[in-house]
A = this chain, B = another copy of it.
Amino acid sequence: MAKKRSGPSGKRGSYAKGVAKREEILTRALDVIAREGYRGASVKEIADAVGLSQAGLLHYFASKEELFTEVLRKRDEADLAFSGFEAVPASADVRDIREGYLSVIRHNAEVPGLVQLFAQLSVDAADPEHPAHRFFIDRGALLRSVFADALARRFAEGGVAPRVPPETLARIFQAVTDGLQLQWMLEPDLDMAATIDVLFELVFTHARAASDDPPDGRAVREGGAA
């Protein structure tokens, strides 16, 4: 489906075409994986979907691992727009991000192949040489900073000095989301969004109780990495 007349030729034009082709590949790969599952979606199947050979497809990426990492990045871009997170004002508190976050979780339950891909790459990412390593570190830091900022505003608004640092609560949100996906892959009837909503409820209860309730017999420490 490539256009015959592709605008200015030369290096700049080729580069722009390369970028456009890469985007097309990632968009098609998202569809194929969402439909066929991650294990079902081989490089060959993705190549077929965009009318390239496998070698031709991998020409646009440094490796198969980079291709799949970029699929996850593309998916995050789509989710960000879908959730309304992009439009959340800087003054949002955690109640403002609740619905958008839960809508992404509900959407995940409709694309099991992408959940499988995410889960597999989040394990592969432990290898510092894997392209997903940097991706997951940056993605986690960004997700947690959005949550931590929104939680901090909620506490400030309520005049509450929380016993638990917002950064640690943000880590718990990230962890419960990733961990529930593993449970859901085994038990597809599990309602991930409803379960995460319970964590919002626990945190809201904590925010209300934090200022006037005695600690439960031990100090709460910072659980985050340095």
Interface residue ranges, A against B (CB under 8 Å): 39, 116, 119-120, 122-123, 125-127, 133, 136-137, 140, 163-164, 168-169, 171-172, 174-180, 182-183, 185-187, 189-199, 201-206, 208-210, 213, 215-216, 218, 220-226
Contact call B190/A224, Cβ cutoff below 8 A = yes
Contact call B191/A223, Cβ cutoff below 8 A = yes
Contact call A206/B216, Cβ cutoff below 8 A = no
**Contact of A168 with B126 at beta-carbon distance under 8 Å, contacts A140-B186, A179-B179, A204-B216 already known:** no
Q: Which residues of B contact A119 (CB under 8 A)?
A: 123, 126
Q: Which residues of B contact A195 (CB under 8 A)?
A: 168, 171-172, 175, 223-224
Number of copies: 2
With beta carbons under 8 angstroms apart, the residue of B120, B169, B180, B204 that contacts A175 is B180
Contact call B186/A133, Cβ cutoff below 8 A = yes
Q: Which residues of B contact A199 (CB under 8 A)?
A: 172
> Which secondary structure characterizes the binding site on chain A?
helix
With beta carbons under 8 angstroms apart, the residue of B172, B183, B226 that contacts A174 is B183
Given contacts A172-B176, A191-B224, 4 further A-B contacts (CB under 8 A): A168-B198, A169-B198, A198-B223, A208-B213
Contact call A202/B204, Cβ cutoff below 8 A = no
Contact call A216/B220, Cβ cutoff below 8 A = no
